[in-house]
């Protein structure tokens, strides 16, 4: 890597950080309980809008996993999300009326909060419909994983986004508040993912899954990226570049082995395709605040509108992390 290129990356990172710092003005703190965060606590950072129905299960899931504190940015919800979160003892809440799009889909806000409150902590940056799965997650709490990563000086842990979907039309079974979404959406694609390397930022670019095969069959290069690095031991100067797909400094993106070995990796179960999506699609299309002209949402509206389903004969039913390990979607690496 030439010095020039290195310097260019540094500038890029600084620009992102400055941008995040400027955007802090758009955040209004509703409740700040960050002084309760202890030194070894694990933090979850979320940016959301109108996700009230998903929140109870979301919070429960991560609390049970061993997360201690939630940093949440509410992008002007109108469904009572803010009021609900305000009452939670382990939530610090910010509110923003500003444009989701102009804050780079919430990332600038998150980068700012991460720098300010998560430095020195392990932090999970996820969406309210993403559920983190890691090797041994059924028997070991998440700080077993982070302690282990610490001994190996691994700073970022990869978890590929795995789209989960129900059998039949997504509206067939309505999602109830507090319900485990994977009781309904328990199917996934096990082996149609493609990988390529992004040389400038060194991350892997993963595409495929049900969205690629149904919505983007003609334009596979536009299919959504599935590579994510949600769990990071945050340091001052780190920043997310595009969603949680990649980080700067770019050495953090090197979460894969290039000599044939397997590094440990988890999965993010993506509970997007639930009955609540339909309303969301309409709302998001009218707002036009999503990535690449909301093209994903347009595709959903087109395909899911006429009672299409994502399920097919070869869909795999989710059982546990060991199943995902055997299928080659995640790996224990040398953690035993």
- Calculate the CA 66 to chain-centre distance: 17
User: Would you say 60 and 151 are in contact if contact means Cβ atoms under 8 Å apart?
Assistant: no
**Residues 321, 318: Cα–Cα separation, whole Å:** 9
For the CB of residue 330, give the shortest distance to other proteins in the complex, in Å: 8
**Tokens (6 digits) for 111:** 């980068």
Total count of residues recorded for the chain: 336
Q: Which C-beta is closer to other proteins: that of 86 or that of 254?
A: 254
Q: Which C-beta is closer to other proteins: that of 61 or that of 193?
A: 193
**Per-residue exposure over 161-171, b if at least 16 CB sit within 10 Å of its own CB, e if not:** bbbbbbbebbe
Q: Which C-beta is closer to other proteins: that of 89 or that of 260?
A: 260
For the CB of residue 231, give the shortest distance to other proteins in the complex, in Å: 13
For the CB of residue 123, give the shortest distance to other proteins in the complex, in Å: 20
Q: Which C-beta is closer to other proteins: that of 44 or that of 255?
A: 255
Q: Which C-beta is closer to other proteins: that of 97 or that of 153?
A: 153
For the CB of residue 149, give the shortest distance to other proteins in the complex, in Å: 12
For the CB of residue 325, give the shortest distance to other proteins in the complex, in Å: 10
Upper half-sphere CA count for residue 219 (Cβ side, 13 Å): 7
Q: Which C-beta is closer to other proteins: that of 136 or that of 182?
A: 136
User: Would you say 80 and 59 are in contact if contact means Cβ atoms under 8 Å apart?
Assistant: no
Which contacts of 289-293 are long-range, i.e. CB under 8 A and separated by 24 or more positions? 289/99, 289/100, 289/101, 290/100, 290/101, 290/105, 291/105, 291/243, 292/222
Q: Which C-beta is closer to other proteins: that of 98 or that of 144?
A: 144
For the CB of residue 275, give the shortest distance to other proteins in the complex, in Å: 22
User: Would you say 121 and 234 are in contact if contact means Cβ atoms under 8 Å apart?
Assistant: yes
Q: Which residues bind other proteins (CB under 8 A)?
A: 136, 139-141, 143-144, 147-148, 151-152, 158-160, 189-197, 204, 206, 210, 212-213, 217-221, 227, 255-265, 312-316, 328-336
For the CB of residue 333, give the shortest distance to other proteins in the complex, in Å: 5
Return the bridge partners of 106, or none: none
Handedness of CA 208, 214, 216, 219 (dihedral sign): positive
């Amino acid at each position: 890597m030439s010095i020039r290129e290195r310097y260019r990356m540094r500038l890029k990172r600084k620009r992102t950080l400055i941008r995040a710092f400027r955007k802090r003005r758009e955040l209004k703190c509703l409740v700040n309980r960050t002084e309760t965060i202890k030194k070894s606590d694990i933090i979850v950072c979320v940016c959301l809008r109108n996700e009230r129905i998903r929140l109870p299960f979301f919070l429960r899931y991560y609390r049970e996993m061993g997360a201690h504190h939630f940093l949440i940015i509410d992008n002007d919800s109108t469904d009572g999300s803010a009021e609900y979160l305000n009452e939670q003892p382990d939530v610090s809440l910010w509110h923003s009326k500003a444009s989701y799009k102009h804050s780079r889909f919430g990332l600038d806000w998150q980068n700012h909060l991460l720098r300010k409150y998560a430095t020195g902590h392990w932090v999970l940056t996820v969406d309210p419909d993403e559920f983190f799965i890691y090797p041994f997650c059924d028997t070991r709490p998440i700080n077993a994983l982070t302690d282990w990563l610490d001994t190996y000086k691994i700073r970022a842990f990869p978890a590929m986004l795995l789209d989960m979907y129900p059998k039949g039309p997504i509206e067939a079974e309505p999602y109830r508040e507090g319900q485990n979404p994977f009781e309904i959406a328990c199917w996934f694609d096990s082996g149609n993912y493609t990988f390529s390397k992004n040389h400038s930022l060194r991350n892997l670019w993963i595409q495929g899954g049900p969205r690629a095969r149904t919505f983007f069959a003609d334009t596979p290069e536009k299919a959504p990226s599935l590579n994510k690095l949600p769990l990071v031991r945050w340091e001052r100067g780190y920043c997310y570049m595009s969603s949680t797909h990649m980080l700067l400094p770019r050495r953090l993106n090197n979460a894969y082995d290039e000599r044939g070995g397997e590094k440990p990796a988890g999965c993010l179960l993506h509970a997007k395709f639930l009955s609540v999506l339909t309303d969301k699609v309409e709302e998001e299309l009218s707002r036009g605040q999503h990535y690449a002209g909301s093209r994903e949402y347009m595709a959903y509206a087109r395909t899911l509108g006429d009672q299409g389903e994502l399920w097919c004969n070869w869909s795999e039913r989710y059982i546990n992390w060991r199943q995902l390990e055997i299928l080659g979607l995640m790996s224990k690496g040398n953690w035993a």
